[in-house]
Structure 1
Amino acid sequence: MNFYDQLQDATSSQRATLFSAPIIDRALKGEVSLDQYVAFLTQAYHHVKHTVPLLMATGNRLSEDKEWLRNAVAEYIEEELGHQEWILNDIAACGADKESVRNSRPNMATELMVSYAYDSVQRINPLCFFGMVHVLEGTSISIADSAADNIRESLGLPKKAFSYLYSHGSLDQEHVEFFKMLMNKIDDPAEQAQIIYSAKVFYTLYGNIFRSLTGVPPLTLTD
């Protein structure tokens, strides 16, 4: 079994737990309020704006034998530049004040996920970042298009209020294939174990962001 498939299997429990967040079920049914959708976008802004800085930190910390991966990180950076502005524009298209969001503080769940991302890259292993990539991109591919379609229909919002979700849905499949290719080049068991563990942590932390949107108590990591 290749490493990407191992990663999928090893994190299946945490993935299922993330998808059990009530707000995700509501989004897929089109039962999300405008305030809840804007709240989701607000927290997305507060973690997406760190994607490029985290990629830079990851590339800087990779060892010389991972030069091939540093080149891939450079490609990721080019792809991810400015995505936080897309989110702010979506917020404005919802009738909310995007500058107020820009200057707001993230909630605790978002703060903790971002903090762990920086800390794990700097303190543990830069490969930890790829656990985050696995979680965020995999989650988006699975639900973004359906959630966007149903929320858009129920709230009567224009398509331009969903550029973030649509761009990270099925249209983002190439990113997932690129990620699979990278992960299948990781053949060191210790590095594989680190990526799997970080993905489990990020599934829990990202799930807690969704839970925070409806006041559901946060979860802790389980093996």
Structure 2
Amino acid sequence: MTSARTTTPSAALDIKLALAAPALGAAFAALWRPGAAFPRTRYLAYLHEMHALIRASVPLMERAALRCARTAPGDPVAGPLGSYLERHIEEERGHDAWLLEDLAVAGGDPAHAAGRLPSPVVAELAGAQYYWIEHHHPVALLGYIRVLEGNAPMPWLADRLAARTGLPAAAFRTVRAHAELDGGHLADLDALLDSLPLTPAHRTALAVSALRTADGITRLFSYLATAPGGPL
């Protein structure tokens, strides 16, 4: 017998994401696999790619919030979605700068990271969201956010990487902060999903966005786990 919990949008999305979980989990495990040492070049590549991805977060949410404001009078999802996005924008603002600061402490070049062409995988991840926000419905962005915040670093990861790379603890500020923050953000997002008057079309957009994001993150982490060093 199906419980009431499994009928909620957040639980339904979790069930769909479970299909992508094995591949995504394997990519994470490969990237952070145990060992006596962890290549500094791999961590620098990780910071480059995370900066390229995370610097799109606030602009994506700002664009989605603007679309919500334009459609809110006749769209019962747009009003509460826009309010959530406005709050979450402030929670996420500046996190791309944290990554550049981490990169500097780790011995990388922040100017190069900020000016380089983002990899195709990152462009696909963020670009799909721009398209769905503009040409479908901004609710799709919640699927993207759900995957990113639902796969935050483990609380122990920053200290373990510091020990394995020999880099200063300050080089892992973003890893440490997201391990602490994203659990609360995820709870807020699930509460929003379960409160919105979502139609079947909205739920489909959420699922497609989330699964597409999970696939992109899997491909990005799989590459970083096998690359000889340096950003994509």
- Rounded Cα–Cα distance in structure 2 between residues aligned with 1:144 and 1:160: 17
Among 78, 91, 105, the alignment partner of 2:117 is 105
CA shift in 2, pair 1:210/1:26, >3 Å: closer
Is 70-79 or 108-117 further displaced after alignment? 108-117
What residue in structure 2 maps to residue 220 of structure 1?
Answer: none
Contact 2:101 2:171 in 1 (8 A): yes
Which secondary structure state, in structure 2, belongs to the residue aligned with residue 106 of structure 1?
coil
Among 1, 8, 11, the alignment partner of 2:17 is 11
Cα distance, 1:139 vs. partner? 0.6
What residue in structure 2 maps to residue 188 of structure 1?
Answer: 199
Taking structure 2 as the reference length, the TM-score comes to 0.86
Is 189-198 or 176-185 further displaced after alignment? 189-198
Contact 1:109 1:212 in 2 (8 A): no
Taking structure 1 as the reference length, the TM-score comes to 0.89
What residue in structure 1 maps to residue 183 of structure 2?
Answer: 173
CA shift in 2, pair 1:212/1:108, >3 Å: farther
Bigger Rg over Cα:
2
What is the count of residue pairs matched by the alignment? 213
Gap regions ≥5 residues in structure 1: 217-223
Among 12, 32, 41, the alignment partner of 1:27 is 32
Matching of residue 147 in structure 1 with residue 123 in structure 2: no
- Give the partner amino acid of 2:212: V
Contact 2:103 2:171 in 1 (8 A): yes
Contact 1:59 1:73 in 2 (8 A): yes
CA-to-aligned-CA distance 1:61-97 (integer Å, 9 cap, x gap): 2231221221111001111111100000000110111
Gap regions ≥5 residues in structure 2: 1-5, 228-232
Matching of residue 204 in structure 1 with residue 218 in structure 2: no
What residue in structure 2 maps to residue 40 of structure 1?
Answer: 46
Contact 1:3 1:183 in 2 (8 A): yes
- Rounded Cα–Cα distance in structure 2 between residues aligned with 1:211 and 1:119: 25
Q: C-alpha root-mean-square deviation of aligned residues, in Å? A: 1.7
- Rounded Cα–Cα distance in structure 2 between residues aligned with 1:210 and 1:101: 18
Contact 1:27 1:150 in 2 (8 A): no
